[in-house]
Structure 1
Amino acid sequence: MERKEYRHLLSDLWESYPDALSKLPLPKKSYSIVEHLTDILSIGPYYYYVVNIADYSLDQVSDNTKQVHGFLSQPKTLKTIIDQIHPDDLDFVLRAEEACINKIAEIGFQHQLYLKSSYCFRMQIANGCYHMFHHQAIHLEKDNDGRLQTALNIHTDIHHITQTNNKIVLVSGFGSRNDFYQMDLSISPSKNCIPKLSRREMEILPLIAGGNSSPQIAEQLFISPETVRTHRKNLFRKTNTKNVGEFIRKCIEWGLLQFLYFYTVGF
């Protein structure tokens, strides 16, 4: 499969980083996608696929991809997926992807197997309407020269939670990395101030969103239930929310909540 035949919105950008992204075709292989989805929060329909960077072809496309977008058959190229993005969001997607690559370059491409990126944009669904989706990119494999060859992309429909694109881009670490970089690409200067949360509050935040009770969170973090209750109260106070649903919505709009958390696996 020739790279030029399947060019897409991000082709020129990606190809401007030859030291980071591989042009070497990779023999077909299967990845254990399930281990990357272990900690998904059940907040909406999602699908995933593996991108082969050398030719922009797709592998291991999940079965529900067709249903979400109304495809007659499973997409075979990244261009087919990108073509579902709302035309008005294409410029933001390009800027978001550039921001992710530049931040990873700043951290060091040698660490990119333990760095994930995420941001939101609108995509067309099967009935012709546009829904807000949350996009995550998890790198899977490099070539012998340390250049990225494959990446797992996960798209989650969050329309039922928010229709607002916060235009916040996240690059965060997992496994051996604890990086957390939040880049606000919004144009509006009047955006509400995002509350500053402690490291412990950031650990508890996704567990609350996942429906865990205070005793369950306490057991996972090896702290007392009373301590969790105190942090929960502080989180609701700082975010000015009164219930979990409102709390989740605000955290998503602010870019504080990511939908997949990977603790033991690499990109």
Structure 2
Amino acid sequence: MDNFLSSQVINLWKKEYSSRLSINTKFSASHQFHQVVAMCSPGNSFYYILNFSNLSFEYIHPNVEQVTGIKPEEATIEKLLINSPSKELELIEIKEKIIIDFMYSFLRQEDYLFYKIIYAYKCKSKNGSNQTMLLQSTVISQTDDGKIAHVFGVHTDITHLGNVTTDWVSFISLNGKQSYLNIKAEHGSFNAKLANLEKKSITADLTKREKEIITLMSQGLSAKSISEKLFISFNTTRTHRKNILCKTNCSNTAELISKCLAEGII
């Protein structure tokens, strides 16, 4: 069943992306490119450059083995997909359809390079346990006629954040234009009216200190560790946490972190 569902996602990409490309070009990634990416992808994560003409990895970071158990020389997009359970693959397919709709029916070709796509998904870890991953991807090259040629993707283990929902996808502007946040998979297609349902950012009313605490919470630090890192008392940290949940209208930390992920804040 999982093989069938993963093949459906692959066939979707082949139909909507690969079939539009008549030539296979290689992306030239400089040493500096990899240095910058490595700095932005700490911890239990890996990244790759995906060629859309044949859905092959032109580069994949060795950390893929640490995160998934798949050796980098054996890694394929199919093997990454098959790590997810059936229900998650069904969600991934729906989210990918929303992404395709956004890219081809809504976004202009000249804006392809200026949006980051984010969603969470569940899969098996190297030791076979369940883990939650955050995918962040962006187009990094286009053909002369504007079609998508290469995509850069970063997959980060966010299991430590708790019960993060995976039924959403967000489109984050990288150049100050409108972002489209938290599109629910149940909608099945992109509609700008379904995005940004909350009129302001979830952190709009938070103080600098409260935002700092959210960042530390997202890194898996306990209240005790946050207190020690910020040189504040344990009770002060707990008070900050209560105020954060109240201001953001979140019932618990898991809901708070899920909303922050959807907005690209953490």
Aligned residue in 2 for 1:237: 246
Quick check: 170-179 or 71-80, which moved more? 71-80
**CA positional deviation for 1:27:** 2.9
C-alpha separation between the residues in 1 aligned to 2:175 and 2:95? 24
Aligned residue in 2 for 1:258: 264
Aligned residue in 1 for 2:36: 35
**CA positional deviation for 1:135:** 1.1
Aligned residue in 1 for 2:159: 159
**CA positional deviation for 1:11:** 3.1
Q: 1:36 to 1:202 in 2, by over 3 A?
A: farther
Aligned residue in 1 for 2:180: 180
**C-alpha contact 1:89 1:121 (8 A) present in aligned 2:** yes
**1:200-228 deviations in whole A, cap 9, x for unaligned?**
72997865533499xxxxxxxxxxxxxxx
1:35 corresponds to which letter in structure 2? V
CA RMSD of aligned residues (A): 3.6
TM-score of the superposed pair, with normalisation by structure 1 = 0.69
Q: Give the unaligned 5+ runs of structure 1.
A: 1-6, 188-193, 214-231, 261-267
Aligned residue in 1 for 2:139: 139
**CA positional deviation for 1:21:** 5.1
C-alpha separation between the residues in 1 aligned to 2:22 and 2:205? 38
C-alpha separation between the residues in 2 aligned to 1:96 and 1:109? 20
**CA positional deviation for 1:118:** 1.2
**CA positional deviation for 1:80:** 1.8
C-alpha separation between the residues in 2 aligned to 1:237 and 1:20? 49
Task: Give the aligned length.
Answer: 225
Q: Percent identity?
A: 17
TM-score of the superposed pair, with normalisation by structure 2 = 0.69
**CA positional deviation for 1:34:** 3.6
- Larger relative helix fraction: 2
C-alpha separation between the residues in 1 aligned to 2:17 and 2:138? 19
- 1:37-56 alignment to 2 at 5 Å? 38-39=39-40, 45-56=44-55
Q: 1:94 to 1:107 in 2, by over 3 A?
A: same
**C-alpha contact 1:206 1:258 (8 A) present in aligned 2:** no
C-alpha separation between the residues in 1 aligned to 2:8 and 2:18? 20
- 1:97-112 alignment to 2 at 5 Å? 97-104=96-103, 105-112=105-112
Q: Give the unaligned 5+ runs of structure 2.
A: 1-5, 188-196, 218-225, 227-240
**1:70-119 deviations in whole A, cap 9, x for unaligned?**
12453342112112122221111010011112123312232110011111
